Amino acid sequence: MKMFILSLSNLSLPLLLPPPSSSSSSSLQLQRRRRRAFSVQSSSFSSCSNPKVIVTRERGKNGKLINALAKHGINCLELPLIQHKQLPELFRLSSVLSETTFDWIIITSPEAGLVFLEAWKAAGTPNVKVAVVGGGTASIFEEVSDSSKQFLDVAFTPSKATGKVLASELPKHGDRKCRVLYPASAKASNEIEEGLSKRGFEVTRLNTYTTVSVNHVDKMVFEQALAAPVVAVASPSALRAWVNLIPESQRWDNSVACIGETTALAAKRLGLRNVYYPRNPGLEGWVESILEALRVYDQFQKV
């Protein structure tokens, strides 16, 4: 698994992006000043002693990563930083699937996949052909029952797990108009529909959900999180939530392990210094990125 490291450490590790400039540091400070009204208070977040890794997905969706890291003897601390909120266009999705035939359904995240599957079942499991951005998103469809799989064909994954590459590589048959349905997060960029439209696809985008920060975190859990060597994040929204929680008076320069390149670039823009990510988003690569971050941390501790 090829790994990429964005780091300002003194180790001879490959730097794929230039070190944060003064403007990057200002960006981190600005994000903190603009922080949402988080409250740090008692809650039921799970904790463990001396955690090595902080997992930050929505509650109930960190289990696979926690279990994968446990196989390597790594303790995790669950600190959900985001939650998903349904949007009005979600309630149109099942009727659109029932009434319109599409050449492709494009799914670019596990959450978008879960939302789509619920609507697809409500629509009566019509025949659909799905394009996914990467292996992590594709794994969501493995849980479809055998009786329904005959109606759902996960038929395309791009050579690189980004929306831009997906838009440039999605197969188009002949000169006829190819219709695409793109159910997505409201926070997803426009690069997919713009890229496909330039190639002559007709794209229907439905913003079915959005991602918002949690309203509060447990004070003791957050203090443990600040001391942990690695924070694992799966989206730019989680990154922003983490940065917003860090006190302005505190210097935090531990590592961030991102699920993929898009999130890693967001971390760089936020002024974070030690950023790890795999070439292709997904659980396996994410775990390897976390392990690499911990190896670097252990080397520093020995110095």
pLDDT tens-digit series, residues 151-204: 999 999 999 888 999 999 999 987 788 999 999 999 999 999 999 999 999 999
Three-state DSSP string of 195-232 = HHHHCCEEEEEEEEEEEEECCEECHHHHHHHHHCCEEE
pLDDT at 43: 37
- pLDDT band of residue 17 (cuts 50, 70, 90) is very low
Lowest mean pLDDT among 24-28, 66-70, 239-243, 294-298: 24-28
pLDDT at 11 over 80: no
Residue 256 confidence (pLDDT): 97
| For residue 2, pLDDT beyond 60 | no
Judged on CB neighbours under 10 Å (0-12, 13-18, 19+), 276 is buried
d(CA 278, CA 120): 31
Q: How far apart are CA 65 and CA 52, in angstroms?
A: 13
Judged against a pLDDT cut of 60, whether residue 228 lies above it is answered with yes
- What's the confidence (pLDDT) of residue 146? 77
Which band of pLDDT confidence, cut at 50, 70 and 90, is reported for residue 142? confident
Per-residue model confidence (pLDDT) at position 301: 83
Q: Pick the closest to residue 258 from 248, 266, 250 (CA basis).
A: 266
Provide mean pLDDT across the span 82-99.
95
Phi–psi pair at 220, nearest 5 degrees = -65, -40
Q: Is 23 exposed, middle or buried (0-12, 13-18, 19+ CB in 10 A)?
A: exposed
Return the pLDDT at 150.
Answer: 84
Name residue 248's beta-bridge partners.
none
Give 6's strand partners.
275
Q: What is the pLDDT of residue 177?
A: 86
Interaxial angle between packed helices 261-269 and 236-245, expressed in degrees from 0 to 180 and rounded to the nearest 10: 30
The better pLDDT of the pair 278, 135 is held by 278
Q: Residue 40 pLDDT > 60, yes or no?
A: no
Token pair belonging to 117: 């599957």
CA atoms of 271 and 243, how far apart (whole Å): 9
pLDDT tens digit string along 245-277?
998 888 899 999 999 888 999 999 999 989 999
pLDDT score recorded for residue 261 = 87
Neighbours of 142 (CB within 10 A): 8
Closest by Cα among 212, 277, 286 to 7: 277
Mean pLDDT (the chain) is 84
